[in-house]
């Protein structure tokens, strides 16, 4: 699998992003975790306090011959609100910020172009506040956060917050799902 690349996005609760990206063609693995803070080996409890500087993120391993980085960016911007600073719905704090951690200059340029395209098309009513930052150490979240939606789809948060994002993917990006 030498064609593997990774993308790292934060856009609110990592459970939401994980559930969506796991359904995409060409995505081989999605891991929930933390990035962008100052604490080594942060825990969920520490990150939720909002003092570590980490964001909840997903690390997406994908095959670029099946799905492009730009396709992943398009889905990322469609399933969360990139115009709200440090908040997605009722999830508030810097740990829920909209952020793209790029792993190469090519990814940085593609993310900047995606933002410029969305801004020019006036897709959102306000300015996009998604931060761009070089990838740093990725800390895998605790086991109970992995495959959260698959394992807990009957939970109220899953039904009322995650499921609509999954439906949006299935409707708006039908050609990109397995």
Give start and end residues of each alpha helix (H) in the chain: 14-21, 44-48, 69-79, 105-120, 148-152, 156-157, 163-172
Quote the CA–CA distance of 25 and 29 in Å, as a whole number: 11
Dihedral angle at the C-alpha atoms of 163, 167, 173, 177, nearest 10 degrees? Answer: 70
The tokens describing 43, both together, are: 């825990």
Q: Distance between CA 52 and CA 137 in Å, rounded? A: 13
Whether 48 sits among the annotated catalytic residues: the reply is no
Q: Could you tell me how far CA 79 lies from the centroid of its own chain?
A: 9
d(CA 160, CA 171) in angstroms, rounded, equals: 17
Which element (helix H / strand E) includes 30?
A: strand 27-35
Catalytic member of 13, 16, 48, 158: 13
Contact 62/28 with Cβ under 8 angstroms? Answer: yes
Residues labelled catalytic:
13
């Amino acid at each position: 699998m030498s064609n593997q690349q990774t993308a790292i996005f934060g856009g609110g609760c990592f459970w939401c992003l994980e559930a969506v990206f796991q359904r995409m063609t060409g995505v081989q693995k999605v891991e929930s975790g933390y990035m962008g803070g100052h604490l080594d080996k942060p825990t969920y409890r520490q990150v939720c306090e909002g003092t570590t500087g980490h964001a909840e993120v997903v690390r997406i391993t994908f095959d670029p011959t099946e799905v492009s980085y730009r396709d992943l960016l398009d889905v990322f911007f469609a399933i969360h609100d990139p115009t709200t600073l440090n908040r997605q719905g009722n999830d508030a704090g810097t740990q829920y910020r909209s952020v793209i951690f790029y792993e190469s200059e090519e990814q940085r340029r593609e993310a900047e172009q995606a933002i410029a395209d969305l801004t020019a098309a006036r897709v959102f009513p306000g300015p996009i506040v998604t931060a761009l930052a070089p990838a740093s150490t990725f800390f895998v979240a605790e086991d109970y956060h992995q495959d959260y939606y698959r394992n807990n789809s009957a939970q109220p948060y899953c039904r009322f917050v995650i499921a609509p994002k999954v439906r949006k993917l299935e409707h708006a990006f039908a050609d990109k799902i397995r």
